[in-house]
């Protein structure tokens, strides 16, 4: 078995693979202040809850966009799983040709998503990742990472309204019944949730025109992919565990 870990700014996702089969996964909050022992014991408790034996983990692969957590995380893996983790970064074989002006600026999560989407669905494609930021990544039919767009995430937008507008409440991110809200909460949900649907469709359509390719598939991933993906007219496939699949594929390419 291998353990795949995707460390995001807000959420960390862990997945256990037996061959190509995902047999367990968890979402936990990303906390840069956790010590290696806190991280290790958290992981062990998650394994115990699923009746999985940590000793059966033969390798660990990590993609992270949170550098401050890496020392404690890597130390925890060594101490509690007795393996040296593979960290996705420069030198890792991915099969993706990065066309960004500065390739090192592309986050590991974006590369991992690109690997998974291209391997599973083929190109050309656009990946929309609903995380702390909402990111759009364009991949050509040749497997080239062309670039993309980065927007504030949905939760950031909702929290900003709550923090900056004295009379606006903190709200749940759910689809409203109508676009013309009849109270403050409905109005905020209409503007944020349905507003992001419009943003996604507009950006995707502009990206498709710039890519100048046919049959471009649009893949949504991330924690809020289901919420926005169900309303969007441009999203073709929702795969909320795309990053874990990419980590497994990259592990296979490098082993």
**What are the catalytic residues?**
109
Separation CA 122–CA 129 (nearest Å): 17
| 16: region left, alpha or beta (phi > 0 left; psi from -120 to 50 alpha) | beta
Separation CA 219–CA 206 (nearest Å): 16
Rg (CA), the chain: 19
The helix/strand count (H/E) of the chain reads as 8, 11
Instruction: Report in angstroms the alpha-carbon separations of 13 from 25, 51, 164, 191, 248.
Output: 7, 18, 30, 29, 13
Question: Are 130 and 224 spatial neighbours (Cβ–Cβ below 8 Å)?
Answer: yes
**Alpha helix (H) residue ranges in the chain:** 36-49, 70-81, 108-121, 154-164, 184-189, 195-211, 225-229, 242-254
Sheet with strand 125-130: strands edge to edge: 97-98, 144-152, 133-139, 125-130, 217-222, 237-238
Sheet with strand 86-87: strands edge to edge: 21-29, 11-18, 2-7, 59-64, 86-87
């Amino acid at each position: 078995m291998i353990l795949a870990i995707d460390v995001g700014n807000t959420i960390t996702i862990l997945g256990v693979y037996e061959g190509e089969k995902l047999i367990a996964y968890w979402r936990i909050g990303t906390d840069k202040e956790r010590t290696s022992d806190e991280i290790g014991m958290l992981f062990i408790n998650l394994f115990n809850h699923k009746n999985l034996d940590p000793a059966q983990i033969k390798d660990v692969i990590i993609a992270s966009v949170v550098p401050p957590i890496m020392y404690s995380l890597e130390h925890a893996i060594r101490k509690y799983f007795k393996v040296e983790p593979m960290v996705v970064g420069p030198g890792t074989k991915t099969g993706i040709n990065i066309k960004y002006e500065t390739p090192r600026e592309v986050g590991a999560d974006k590369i991992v998503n690109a690997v998974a989407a291209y391997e599973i669905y083929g190109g050309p494609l656009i990946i929309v990742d609903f995380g702390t930021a909402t990111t759009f990544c364009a991949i050509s039919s040749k497997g080239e990472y062309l670039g993309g767009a980065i927007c504030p995430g949905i939760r950031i937008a909702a929290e900003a309204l709550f923090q900056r507008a004295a009379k606006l409440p903190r709200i749940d991110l759910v689809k409203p019944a109508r676009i013309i809200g009849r109270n403050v909460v409905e109005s905020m949900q209409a503007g944020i949730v349905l507003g992001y649907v419009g943003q996604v469709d507009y950006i995707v359509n502009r990206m498709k025109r710039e890519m100048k390719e046919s049959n471009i598939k649009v893949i949504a991933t991330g924690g809020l992919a289901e919420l926005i993906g169900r309303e969007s007219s441009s999203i073709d496939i929702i795969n909320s565990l795309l990053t874990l699949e990419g980590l497994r594929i990259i592990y296979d390419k490098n082993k």
